[in-house]
Structure 1
Amino acid sequence: MIEVKDLHKSFGDAHILKGITTSFEKGKTNLIIGQSGSGKTVFLKCLLGLFTFEQGFISYDGKILSELSHDERRDLRSKMGMVFQGSALFDSMTIAENVMFPLRMFTKQSKGEMEDRVNEVLQRVNLPNAHNKMPSEASGGMQKRVAIARAIVNNPKYLFCDEPNSGLDPKTAIVIDNLIQEITDEYQIITVINSHDMNSVMEIGEKIVFLKDGYKEWEGSKETIFKTDNKAVTDFVYSSELFKKVRRMYIEENE
């Protein structure tokens, strides 16, 4: 479990995170949502250990991040997988070389062992014949699947995704959402997803943390989000007529 307690983060006079307390469980897709400027990107970077913070703590399975030594932090980092917003593939490497990169960085496996693992994860994301392609030859959806393969190649305990559906058409976005949820359940990973996509929330939001102005305004699931009367949440969720209709239908069906 990842536990967050009373987390505060500032940049100069700008107080970005204001006492966030929450937790993320193994085998669940945990979504951080909120408007631009709500603090969700800063929060994700704190979870990754990229930003230090002034108050509070983050613990990974009981180990407090700020108390870890350099070697312990490196060991923790080796257990993290990351899917970046723009996929962040290396243009000069083939798809297979991109996926193999974390193995080269964090393991001492032989070349044959690394190749076997690359084959396994590319098969898992339905790209069995993409090894020798360059990223420029891949569609946006294909690049995201490569990014997921790279993120899980080292058997991580923790998977972080920053806007994984950014730039994708709705149909491809659903495919990526479902793939992330399947992998989370299959490998029993703690998955944390930074998103503003309400379709993702309703598709895979097993736990949702809603941030507003640096505060945790609400948390719950995709089922309970329909029931809340928290105005900040309802204003965000039902900003479109589509989700207003979905909410009315849900309420009518459950009366």
Structure 2
Amino acid sequence: MIKVENVKKRFGEEEILKGITTTFEKGKTNLIIGQSGSGKSVLLKCLIGLFKPEEGRIYYEENAIQDMDDDQQRDLREEIGMLFQGGALFDSMTIEENVMFPLRMFTKQKKSEMLGRVNEVLSRVDLNNVNKKYPAEISGGMQKRVSIARAIVNKPKYLFCDEPNSGLDPKTATLIDNLIQEITHENDITTVVVTHDMNSVMEIGEKVVLLKNGTLAWQGDKNEIFKTDNEDVTNFVYSSDLFKKIREVQLKEG
């Protein structure tokens, strides 16, 4: 579990996060949603330690990042997996080398041990016999699955995903959503996903945090979204005709 208490972050005179308090639950897919400029990415970067809040505290289990020394922060980084928006694969490395990269950084395993783990996670994301290919030789959806394999190769306790469906077609996006959720449940990971995609919310939103102008506007799960009268939620969710129709059906069914 990750707990956020009254986190505030500013750049110069502009306050981006205005006192966020919430929790991200273990073994669940926790989604951060909101319009562009709402503070989603800034909150994510505070969670993983790239930004330091001016006020507030962030706890991993019972340990606050602010109280950790350098060694403890390094140990925490080894427990974190990160799926970047663009995949962030190294073009000059093979798929095998890309996935192995965190193991080389954070472990002292033998080459045979690392290769065994690489093959294990590639198989888990349904990518066999691609080890010697380069990112440019596979599709965008396959690249995203390679990125997931790399993010989980170190068996992280915490998984962060920044717009994991960016640039993918709807069918592939759904496959990626479901894969992230399956891996979360299988390994009891605390997963945090930043997204603006309502399809992702409805697929895997076990805990949903809606930000608006740097504040926590609403939190709940994907089923509660259709029942709330919170104006910020309805404005965000039902901006498309599709979800307006879904809401009408949900309300009729009680």
When the two structures are superposed, what TM-score results if normalisation uses the length of structure 2? 0.99
How far is the alpha carbon of 1:68 from its aligned partner?
0.4
Which residue matches 2:145?
145
CA distance in 2 between counterparts of 1:209 and 1:55 reads 20
How far is the alpha carbon of 1:25 from its aligned partner?
1.0
Which residue matches 2:247?
247
Gaps of at least 5 residues in structure 2 are none
CA distance in 1 between counterparts of 2:232 and 2:188 reads 32
Deviation sequence 1:72-107 (CA, Å, 0-9, x none) = 101000000000000000000000100000000000
Which residue matches 1:186?
186
Which residue matches 2:107?
107
Q: State the SS of the aligned residue for 2:178.
A: helix
Superposition map of 1:74-223 within 5 A: 74-223=74-223
CA distance in 2 between counterparts of 1:125 and 1:162 reads 18
Which residue matches 2:41?
41
CA distance in 1 between counterparts of 2:11 and 2:252 reads 46
Q: State the SS of the aligned residue for 2:123.
A: helix
Large movers: runs of 4+ above 2 Å: none
Deviation sequence 1:180-218 (CA, Å, 0-9, x none) = 000000000000000000000000000000000000000
CA distance in 1 between counterparts of 2:53 and 2:59 reads 13
How far is the alpha carbon of 1:70 from its aligned partner?
0.5
**Backbone CA RMSD of aligned residues:** 0.4
Q: Give the aligned residue type for 2:221.
A: S
Q: Give the aligned residue type for 1:195.
A: T
Q: State the SS of the aligned residue for 2:211.
A: strand
Gaps of at least 5 residues in structure 1 are none
Which residue matches 2:54?
54
